[in-house]
Amino acid sequence: MKLWLNITVFTPLWLLLDKAYVGPASQIMFMKHITVLLAEDHRVVRAGFRKLLDAEVDLEVVGEAQNGRQAVELTRKFRPAVVVMDIAMPLLNGLEAARQIRKAFPDTKVVMLSAHSDDAYVDQAIAVGAVGFLLKQTSSYNLSEAIREVQNGNTFFSPSIAKRLGNHQPKSPNGGGLLKKKIARLTSREVEVLQLIAQGNADKHTAAELGISVKTVEKHRQNLMAKLNIHEISGLTRYAIGAGIIESSVQLTIR
């Protein structure tokens, strides 16, 4: 006599670490969250991006940074898969923050946001290790797509930039360009000092922001002028703008 047993095995819910979606055909697909850190100094813009990403079932915002220094710290704390980084960030600009993040956490992808699509800005972003570049004016339309693409190992640029890059090969991190080489010679602290000086801060304020003495700020300024062959504050400001260290603001409407 044969005995047939019909056994159903149930998987405990605590083993299902990823998000489940029940489709129309009652098929269950498991989607792994892509963790995202938003680094944007404008609160309203950041909230708009957060609202957009929260509506996506496969994306999870794990933190928000208001300045570049905080972006580096929160990346260290949360280890997000993707950092969405505005170039024009206070305390530490987005390019330098991205460079530090890519150096310390090479598995984390960085997508840059900018008000400008100039080749210099795009080249600098690529040079520091960013794999995406979105124009702030149109980023609300394709931010989610950009995050998914870079997480899959691809690059993503706003359409107008991607079209131009078809005829323009951006400089690689090991490539050339006098501007990039000058920036590469600056230390992280010198970039911080340069940004604060270019933004019009007095030495005393710069010293307080960075937790260093006024004499140290003066020494950094002297080193900057010597390295860049610039001999006046206005020249440092023009250089910072051209290098993407500081950037004019732009209004963004979240649709």
Q: What is the pLDDT of residues 32-78, one digit of tens each?
A: 689 999 999 989 989 999 999 999 999 999 999 999 999 999 999 99
Furthest-apart CA pair in the chain: how many Å?
A: 99
Distance between CA atoms of residues 126 and 122, nearest Å: 6
* Choice between 182 and 221, residue whose per-residue pLDDT is larger: 221
Beta bridge partners of 59: 34
Q: Is the pTM of this model over 0.85?
A: no
Q: Which residues, 6+ apart, have CB-to-CB distance to 106 below 8 Å?
A: none
Whole-angstrom Cα distance, residue 166 to residue 135? 17
- 158: alpha, beta or left? (left if phi > 0; alpha if psi -120 to 50): beta
pLDDT greater at residue 119 or residue 167: 119
**Is the predicted pLDDT of residue 210 greater than 70, yes or no?**
yes
Domains with residue ranges and CATH for the chain: 24-165 (3.40.50.2300), 178-242 (1.10.10.10)
Are 228 and 242 in contact, with CB atoms under 8 Å apart? no
Distance CA 58, CA 221 (A): 46
Phi, psi of 48 (to 5 degrees): -65, -45
Distance CA 219, CA 231 (A): 14
Residue 238 DSSP label: H
Q: Which two tokens stand for residue 249?
A: 């603001």
For the stretch 119-145, pLDDT in tens is 777 888 888 899 999 988 776 778 999
Amino acid code (one letter) for 94: G
Q: Is the separation of the CB atoms in 221 and 227 below 8 Å?
A: no
